[in-house]
Structure 1
Amino acid sequence: MRPTRSLPALVRTPRLVLRRQRPEDAALIREAVDTSLAHLRASVAWAQAEPTSLPATAARLARSAAAFDAGDAWTFTILDAAATRVLGGVGLEPAEPPLALLAGAEGVEAGYWLRADAVGHGYATEATAALAELAFARLGARCVVICHDPTNAPSGGVPRRLGFRCLGTVPDAALPGRQAADGSVRAGTTIWVLDAPAPPAGG
């Protein structure tokens, strides 16, 4: 899917601020990642390359901001209500062709991570719910998809709580190149889908 609409750079939920990633937040991001390395390395592949320098983090955030502004992907920093502490990250990107074949055309894939001491408070669920709503309302997505390693059972909690339906687990051949937390190519991927709400009757 090639979205024709944009997302707001700032989204507020009852407990969180979701802010478009930006280089100015590099120090806050570094603090969140550096204090949670063991936790992150056990759950997300990108953490295997951490820690990185502050300039490298700022450069990555600048690339993320450029992709956001171009409508290629939308990655947000999850902050507390005061916007002074990073709790994690959440984002959307157009579903790649192999995933679209499995989950449905014109879908977006959602992803998220949390710092160690932010786990268990419902923050990932709250942030993902907000972005799913925006995906339907602002991007015209027909579905939102969440994929995770089947060996990481807690990752399925967010889509389950939000009412996603589980399509099951597919082998690497059906959805190639997905990484396990240790950076290796994982054998399979579990897929969850939330379809766009039906339009109002007569609408």
Structure 2
Amino acid sequence: MSRNDLSRDGSSQEESSRQESGPAQFGVRADDPHQRLEDLWPPFGLRIESPRLVLRQIRESDFPAYTAAITSGVTQTARNPFVTAWNEGEPEDLVRTALPWLWSQRATAGPEDWYLMLAVFLRDEDDADDGGSAGSREGQLIGMQDVHANSWTVLRTVGSGSWLRADRQGHGYGTEMRAAMLAWAFDHFGAQYAESAAFEWNARSLRVSASLGYREVGRRRTVDAHGEHAQEEVQLRLARREFVRPSWPTRVLGSERLQSFFCQGPL
């Protein structure tokens, strides 16, 4: 076992990032109306669990909770931290914009280009207290942790974006959900690099990235969310070997089947 195979607390990656067994290959039974949705569309079967959170692909049944989150407020800064002003406007405007976007990204489904929209749920308090079982129970939807890739088989690089309800910010959830996503990408899906970006004034986002090992690799001049003012964007990259792993374990379900669906071989 190499030094890079150890987590921060000295445990192996297999111990700190566990995956439960299940159907490993994507397959569809002919003329069977009783197959599960996650078997037919494996992105729905991916599930990542950390001590306080559950991350999984958003479904239409989550849209009411998603709408509640985006209309509750997601920005605590004087300036908009996103590349577009999707989070501004009346509730009706937010829904008209957000839901079609969720549907459109679902079509980016590999093998070279893919986009996963992972809803972030608080784990049920009773479930978190007893350590969870096969599939931890979900509480409130508090945000999103998206992860995506282009030219995957060549670059092996994931990009990400995220947001949290304003009333759930400041409790470490942003760091925890990104760390859980990275543990999945590096340990279960074969990523070698992760990239991110933030405006230079967005100190909170930059601190989260730095705490996980990201390094600045460049800057570019770009427009703000409203297209009205120039801003400096900090571009960040994280190599797998430099990932500052959390001390807690990450539990992953459904990753092998997703790899098969994306026409990837096992790691």
Structure 2 portions without partners, runs of 5+: 1-41, 125-137, 243-267
Q: Does 1:75 align with 2:117?
A: yes
Say if 1:39 and 1:29 are closer, same or farther in 2 by CA, change over 3 A.
farther
Verify: 1:42 aligned to 2:80, yes or no.
Answer: yes
Correspondence for 1:118: 168
Find the residue that maps to 1:47 and give its secondary structure: coil
Q: Which of 122-131 and 163-172 deviates more? A: 163-172
Q: Deviations over 1:89-144 (max 9, x none)?
A: 11111258xxxxxxx94311121111101111111111111111221223322211
| 1:61 aligns to 2:102 (yes or no) | yes
Are residues 1:108 and 2:158 paired? Answer: yes
> TM-score, normalising length from structure 1?
0.74
Q: Which residue of 2 aligns with 1:157?
A: 207
1:87 aligns to 2:87 (yes or no):
no
Counterpart amino acid of residue 195 in structure 2: V
Q: C-alpha separation between the residues in 1 aligned to 2:182 and 2:224? A: 24
1:55 is displaced (CA, Å) by: 7.1
Conserved? CA contact 1:26–1:61, under 8 Å: no
Consecutive unaligned residues in structure 1, runs of 5 or more: 1-5, 97-103, 173-178, 199-203
Q: Is the 8 A contact 1:23 1:61 kept in 2?
A: no
Which whole-Å CA distance do the structure 1 matches of 2:73 and 2:171 have between them?
A: 16
The 3-state SS of whatever aligns with 1:85 is strand
Q: Is the 8 A contact 1:76 1:90 kept in 2?
A: yes
Separation in structure 1 between the aligned mates of residue 173 and residue 163 of structure 2, nearest angstrom: 10
Contact 1:109–1:146, Cα closer than 8 Å, also in 2: yes
Structure with greater Cα Rg: 2
Q: TM-score, length-normalised on structure 2? A: 0.58
Aligned-residue CA RMSD in angstroms? 3.1
